Structure 1
Amino acid sequence: MSEKQYLLDKTLERWKGQRVAVGIGSEISFSGILEDFDEEVILLKNVTDYAGNKARELIVKIDDMNWITLL
């Protein structure tokens, strides 16, 4: 495991169960509860996008994320 992957895993483990915001591409962002993650994807529950649209769950490829913040 690379040092970068270790830091990501450690941080996401701490953030599990809390609300996060995720940026995908230059204009798309979502917020939701970080439910789970692995080396390739994160799973968010109770998701809201930047326009206020809601969804129950969202899977995001980690390679497609520009940023993730703890809200």
Structure 2
Amino acid sequence: MTVQHVVSPVPESAWFKSSYSGSEGGECVEVAHTVDTMHVRDSKQDKGPVLTVRPDAWTRFVGLAAGRGV
């Protein structure tokens, strides 16, 4: 299940920008991970909501987004 956080559940230093984010700054996604969770946020709103998912759900999502299926 997903959860939104107003305050980031991970340290600022743990976030990294997706290599697929555009260089113009308009479409940037940042990701951070812990042992139990993956966190996703909009890099333009680092104090905004954070989407949190389990690592297995993240792996499935990335596979689907890359066109590899489940």
Q: TM-score, normalised by structure 1?
A: 0.36
Larger radius of gyration: 2
Q: TM-score, normalised by structure 2?
A: 0.36
* Structure with greater proportional strand content: 1
